[in-house]
Structure 1
Amino acid sequence: MDPVPTEAPAVPTRTSAPRAGGARRVERLCHATGVLLVLSGLAHLVVFAVDGGPWDGPVSWRKPVTFGVSFGVTLIAVAWVTSYLRVGTRLRTLLLTVFAADCAVEVGGITLQAWRGVPSHLDMATPFDTAVSMTLAVGGGVLVVLLTVFAVVSFRHRPSGPAGMDLAVRSGFAILLVALASGAAMIARGVVLTRTGHQEAAYHSTAPLKPLHGVSLHAVLVLPALAWLLSRTPWSEPLRRRILSAAIGSYVTAVVGAGVWAALAY
């Protein structure tokens, strides 16, 4: 009689614990960095209240306020939303780490120039100002690449999460691409005008696209947050999806409206 086969000894394998731990660490990093950026923006709102000065224009306290709050909220939102994407833990950790660092550099450069009393973008007056301006421009390009990668992943593989989260995440990233495109257009147009000696025109050239950029930037937080809140209600899934679809339609209408206004203003 043949001997009864015994179970083969277990082969040591890598468990998911280190990867889960890495994911949690990078999320904590993004959350902490995002909170610091938001607090920096709010602190400069106090500086503006004390110091005064214009709210609009290339040199104002508005820029560290709005960029600090916006970048901080976006960083926290992206760290949360990407947890629903079907992407490798190592890749997500790398992308989020670079994204957090880039957000800090962007807000840091803008804040530095505000305290120096000079424009942060499109300023080529001195070698130092040029270095800061180009660093911010390159940083903006890095943001475009990172967020585009996340957007592509969201469409290649259906995001996980409660009912409707897949639609919310994909819609949020799709609208975010509009924000990235408008931001890139502002930088490109401004750089061209600056290089051709139209510095003042470069500062004013970005105004028409700012509403479009601002409205479309935060869809990646608003829509998934709505899907999450709806999943906590006792309403039926078809009703939740109808509400979410209506919200997405309203958001798209707002983005289109801002785009039409930008086109007419140009």
Structure 2
Amino acid sequence: MDHPRPVERLCHAIGLLLVVSGLAHLAVFAVDGGPWYGPVSWRKPVTFGLSFGVTLIAVTWVTSYLRIGERPRAALLAVFAADCMVEVGGITLQAWRRVPSHLDMETPFDTAVSMTLAVGGGVLVVLLTVFAAVSFRYRPTGPVGMPAAVRAGFAVLLVALASGAAMIARGVVLTRTGRQEAAYRSTAPLKPLHAVSLHAVLVLPALAWLLSRTSWSDRARRRIVAAAIGCYAAAVAAAGVWAALTR
């Protein structure tokens, strides 16, 4: 196994830091209490810290199977890591200030934080779309089943990005028209779809990697990966149908 490159070590360290931040805020919630759901709660630094941390580590690992130059990959990963820190940092800051992190235009400072998070979300979309495009343009490397798992993981991740962008766009429109409470409620139907599709880029390649450690035939491993992709696609479709029915 190759030794981790500097950018990979940096991304792993930042990802671990974000995960620790999420767990630390879970402890804060246990002590401080308060609502778990809603625009102002400790849930947000917990879930965002864990999700961004795990996703950063996963993307750093999975992109090692992409046919992309080391320098472009390092540059993209460095920007991705910085963006993850900005997103989690802004959300955590607002949680401690006891104000909403997203869609909050009450003061100039809150507006600046909300818009920074929105722009950061746009940067995430661009970066991860680039990685997804590379995975489909050039067949990924890796053991049996890994190319399909990587491509499917990035494809499903694009669904997460699209649903996240839709939540922000809809919320901003409602906020700017004076319907703040409606803006917060408008994100609820898409949250399950966003959550389900977010971590396919880790789950599916991890399954392919685990299967590569077995003595099973190549044919069996391909079938298992294909079945897992099908199951994940069905889960995403079900979440999408639920979102459409509860709008």
1:6-28 deviation per Cα after TM superposition (whole angstroms, max 9, x unaligned): xxxxxxxxxxxxxx98x700000
TM-score computed with the length of structure 2 as normaliser: 0.99
Partner of 2:71: 90
Aligned-residue offset at 1:30: 0.5
Aligned-residue offset at 1:186: 0.2
Alpha-carbon distance between aligned partners in 2 of 1:166 and 1:247, rounded to the nearest angstrom: 14
Partner of 1:56: 37
The one-letter code of the counterpart of 1:139 is G
Alpha-carbon distance between aligned partners in 1 of 2:114 and 2:103, rounded to the nearest angstrom: 6
1:226-265 deviation per Cα after TM superposition (whole angstroms, max 9, x unaligned): 0000000000000011111111100000000000000000
Partner of 1:77: 58
The runs of 4+ residues in structure 1 deviating greater than 6 Å are: none
Selected match of 1:198 from 176, 179, 198: 179
Alpha-carbon distance between aligned partners in 2 of 1:74 and 1:57, rounded to the nearest angstrom: 23
Alpha-carbon distance between aligned partners in 1 of 2:7 and 2:171, rounded to the nearest angstrom: 34
Q: How many residues align?
A: 246
1:158-213 deviation per Cα after TM superposition (whole angstroms, max 9, x unaligned): 00010110000000000000000000000000000000000010011000000000
Mark the runs of 5 or more structure 1 residues left unpaired by the alignment.
1-19
CA RMSD of aligned residues (A): 0.9
Which of these two proteins has the greater Rg computed from alpha carbons? 1
1:80-113 deviation per Cα after TM superposition (whole angstroms, max 9, x unaligned): 0000000011100000000000000000000000
Partner of 2:158: 177
Say whether residues 1:262 and 2:216 are aligned partners.
Answer: no
1:37-84 deviation per Cα after TM superposition (whole angstroms, max 9, x unaligned): 000000000000000000000000000000000000000000000000
1:104-149 deviation per Cα after TM superposition (whole angstroms, max 9, x unaligned): 0000000000000000000000000000000000000000000000
Partner of 2:15: 34
Mark the runs of 5 or more structure 2 residues left unpaired by the alignment.
none
Alpha-carbon distance between aligned partners in 1 of 2:146 and 2:231, rounded to the nearest angstrom: 17
Selected match of 2:190 from 209, 216, 229: 209
Alpha-carbon distance between aligned partners in 1 of 2:145 and 2:231, rounded to the nearest angstrom: 16
Selected match of 1:149 from 130, 135, 147: 130
